[in-house]
Structure 1
């Protein structure tokens, strides 16, 4: 599945590169390849936008009903059948599907993995002629070749970690219970560190994809949070 999707996304990257390379003279420090990665990432995120918005709404709904779920769990802790029935009533009343979050993840995951395949193996999925790919300019400001890891820790690895942290923060709700908040805080610290360490060994093109993807998600989440907040106030 990921190979099939990789060919599709690789074809999109190649198409965008061909279109961008027709605009004129290539800037010395901002290659057409870097532009193609950025544009393809934005298009990729736009394709997933309906799924991401559904996930945001589902998470918001989950946080809203979580206090009532805790009440049911506490009140019927010795009666699992009644607790299950009350949970089902609560889900129906608030039109919440507990499986929706998993479904969204199952839809997104193969596409994300496929995009990682494309960025990690561009000559397999996008640029079929290795000689042509090797001859391409792959600069991105301070990075001479996006095929190689960023030579500076303060560059894309740090940006990847920082944007991962900001994305996690924007997705954190104040309505979650204390235990969930503690877990979220730990993840907010651990995940950026993990991404920073991984990005040091990534091809810089992958790290660039990750940074642009995170920035898009942060903006999307901020807009979504404001929109969902307004809807809640109107109701």
Structure 2
């Protein structure tokens, strides 16, 4: 069932795109990523709608939690009723991630299998290829073995420098652009930790898996940012952690803004003290005169 629904379609689509775009594996991967993101766009739109709705009802949810904090069953019933009133599915924000996970696993297998080089690997690949293809599509068998080197980069082997850096950077930017800052200090601290740890974790995996998977991840992040921008969810306020979207290094890194304000307040207080001292000195001088 896995091969029929996930692996075989991805393998054949990747090989067809490889043949259509001049036997260029890099272009084939990028086009495949674009097609996957376009197919998932309706789910992405639902995720945005669900996330926006959850943010809008947060004040009401807080009131319900405070009112029924000693009655968990009633609190849960009231929260579910609030979801129904606003047409919100609390699991709607997780759906695109759950759908993309098997596609990511299938794409990893499709990359490793489509780049078969040895006779045994080609025999294994032949078990996943469609033979009765339309005349306007290239014959997958005639394209084997595929050329994995593009611009000096071997997409079948891990890349441990450039691509991991791009993976970490685009993952961090996408998370920062798409995640609004939380007013809850505990939630904000947890969000900051995830926004730092998740890109590093994915970047580590990109040093182990084939470089083609890193190409997919970088392209998917860029397209995701563009899609969220179209839906009105990509925000510079989220990226820099400021109300007007102006640059703030602490906000960009997800650090508390109060740490930067404290020195300024200290300077302001010292200035006010010096002014008060000067005023008192002038008053004492006038009295002595």
TM-score, length of structure 1 as denominator length:
0.80
- Distance, in Å, in 2 between the alignment partners of 1:218 and 1:227 is 7
Secondary structure of the structure 2 residue equivalent to 1:156: helix
Choose which of 155, 160, 175 in structure 2 pairs with 1:146: 155
Deviation, structure 1 residue 218: 1.4
- Distance, in Å, in 2 between the alignment partners of 1:96 and 1:176 is 21
Partner of 2:81: 89
Does residue 54 in structure 1 map to residue 29 in structure 2? Answer: no
Choose which of 69, 72, 76 in structure 2 pairs with 1:80: 72
- If asked which structure has higher relative contact order (CA below 8 Å, sep 6+), I would say 1
Partner of 2:144: 132
Partner of 2:11: 10
- Distance, in Å, in 1 between the alignment partners of 2:165 and 2:110 is 23
How many residue pairs align between the two structures?
214
Contact 2:12 2:140 survives alignment (8 Å): no
- Distance, in Å, in 1 between the alignment partners of 2:234 and 2:165 is 30
**Unaligned residue ranges in structure 2 (runs of 5+):** 117-124, 130-138, 236-289
**1:33-64 CA distances to partner (integer Å, 9 max, x unpaired)?**
11111111111111111111111211121122
- Distance, in Å, in 2 between the alignment partners of 1:56 and 1:170 is 13
Contact 1:58 1:96 survives alignment (8 Å): yes
What is the aligned-residue RMSD (CA, Å)? Answer: 2.6
**1:58-116 CA distances to partner (integer Å, 9 max, x unpaired)?**
11211221232122112201112321222122112211122323444443332232222
Please identify the structure whose Cα radius of gyration is greater: 2
Choose which of 225, 232, 243 in structure 2 pairs with 1:218: 225
Choose which of 106, 112, 118 in structure 1 pairs with 2:110: 118
Partner of 2:166: 159
Q: How does 1:92-107 map to 2 (within 5 A)?
A: 92-107=84-99
TM-score, length of structure 2 as denominator length:
0.66
- Distance, in Å, in 2 between the alignment partners of 1:211 and 1:196 is 11
